[in-house]
Every structure is written in C-alpha cells, then in structure tokens.
Amino acid sequence: MALTHLKKPEATVRVSRRDFLAKIGWGSLLAAVGSFAAAFMRFLHPNVVTPSPGPVELGSPEDYAVGSLTFLDQARVYLGHDTRGYYAIIAVCTHLGCTPRLESNELACPCHGSRYSLDGQVITGAAKRPLDRALIWRAANGHLFVDRSHIVEADWRLRL
C-alpha cells in the first residue's frame, strides 16, 4: 500500500502515556521542592534594614583642643583637631571592621594587627586601605555633628 511510509515507527516510541505522566509529575515535584528552597532563601533575605544613623551630635568644639584625637562612643569616630581644623576618622578597620585603638602615636587594630598612623594611613598589617574620614559640620546650636555615611577626603578639614 502506498501509505506505509506514514505508519508510526514503533521502535522509537519508548514512553507510554503513563510513564510520561509520571515523569511530568516527578518533574513538577522536583520543581516544587526547588521553589521551596528558593522561597526559603528569599525569606532569609531582609526586606527592611536598619537605616544608617544620620547626623550624630559630638559636643562643643571647645572641648577638643588642638592636638587632640578623641574617640567618641556615640558615633564611633575619632574626632581630631589639628592646626588646620577639625576632622573625623571613622573608627572601623578597613580589613574586617574591628575598632582600632588609640596608642601613643598610632591607631592599632586588636583583631589582626593592622596599624595606622594618626591620620589614618596604613603603616603595617592586613589592612590595605587607609581609614575613611566622615563629614563634620557645626550646627546652629554651636555643636559639632558628624555623618558617617558621607565620606570626605583625607586632607579635608572643618575650619571654624
């Protein structure tokens, strides 16, 4: 007969309807499990985070004499006052974030041995970048304020 070439080649048909259904079923279950896992990972990721603290009051400029470098708890900065003016060093080690400690003529981080000069340049240790400086200004009430989210250059000073 002329239409034999249209007959379905039975040798290639391996999957019965049942098997196919089952395969779809398992595939869907696997996809579902994958979705659970993905949903859980998304669940872990926070949608609301702590906002950055914004301006923090540091006190009156007279309290910080020329030549001083004072750690201020409320803002975690070192407020310095040299002959050119005021500046704030952010007290976060650029290696892994510990708070460097003021020693006689350097800032030393107690975690992995990074040491910075008093103006934040790396002397030795694991840190690779100098300490960041934050923007400070004098507000209307005469007190100094700092904003850690505004980074300024190392040679910038607040002149009063």
| Interface contacts to other proteins, rule CB under 8 A | 41, 44-46, 49-50, 61-62, 65-68, 71, 73, 76, 91, 95-102, 110-113, 125-126
Give the other-Cβ count within 10 Å of 19's Cβ: 10
Cβ at position 132, least distance to other proteins in Å: 15
Cβ at position 66, least distance to other proteins in Å: 7
- Residue pair 110/127 in contact by the 8 Å Cβ criterion: no
**How far is residue 146's CA from residue 64's CA, in Å, rounded to a whole number?**
14
Which lies closer to other proteins via its Cβ, residue 19 or residue 103? Answer: 103
Which lies closer to other proteins via its Cβ, residue 15 or residue 96? Answer: 96
| Degrees, nearest 5: CA angle 121-124-129 | 45
Which lies closer to other proteins via its Cβ, residue 133 or residue 148? Answer: 148
Cβ at position 154, least distance to other proteins in Å: 20
**How far is residue 86's CA from residue 89's CA, in Å, rounded to a whole number?**
10
